[in-house]
Structure 1
Amino acid sequence: MKVIDIKSEKQQTGFKTCTVCAHCWPRIVDLIRDESLYINGYQASFSDSREGLFLFTHDIDGCGTTLAISAGALVKLYTGPEHTVHMAYTERCEGHCMHGDDLAPCTNDCDMRWARDILQVLKAHGPEERLKALDTAEHPDVPARAS
């Protein structure tokens, strides 16, 4: 594995920079659309689901690092209803959030379900109409889509 000291390289600015190969994704949507990244896990935060982490692997020669993206940064990808009941560790819980490498969707009306839905978007690198919500969020001068 080739390790690059990004401190000695020209610093790139943007949403996220790979700590191994120094590749820079200028915007969140660029990272999600990048087919050299794949989602490989979700580290849940049971006290505040927005503090969970989506874990990606940068799958290119000489890299292979894991990047963490805050769940809160991707909340706009969720288009479903808001659920307020916390079901983790209850009999009704399917247990998906307990296992970081479990990428399956959840069917319960749990307050953490939105993160499981976003995992499906990340696995598919889209669909594009869902990613547009992030484009608008990153460019506040662009009017929001009509529902």
Structure 2
Amino acid sequence: MREAEMAMAFAMLQNEQQRVALAISKLGGRAREWALTCGTSVEAAFLSWKELKMQLLRVFSSAFRERSRFLAARQVKKELVDFVQDLRTLIAGMAANFLPKAVTVTVFMEGLSTGVARKEVFRVSHPSSFKEAVKVALTAIFNLKSTQLGWTTQP
């Protein structure tokens, strides 16, 4: 965007449509593809440079990327604690426009790999919060590991 603004400052552009056209010509990758497919024509989609800039920030801001990364999160081969930490980081990044509790719990539950933690979280009658779901999963893993190592909770 900065490059486009600099080019606009030096170019003798007559109207807003020329500014928009120059800005789009400076875009690349997904942003360029998005701008060119926004409407039936670029002129109709963006009436001014200011509007194009606002739309670009709205669509490609990091909060939306973090939201999509959060919704697509999967444990795969990570340790449970690493998966939980990744989700907590993504949730913190979306603080301005947070997701409902039910969505965060569902994403966590669906993202868990098949195993003890997933079975235990699904066995509990749907946890009411992300913290509760994490607690159930971490407790299940702890209990499994302590059983495998022969630890007991009673003397």
TM-score range, shorter chain: under 0.3
Which of structures 1 and 2 has the bigger CA Rg?
2
> 1 or 2, which has the higher strand percentage?
1
> 1 or 2, which has the higher helix percentage?
2
Q: Relative contact order (C-alpha < 8 Å, sep 6+): which is higher?
A: 1
Taking structure 1 as the reference length, what is the TM-score of the superposition?
0.27
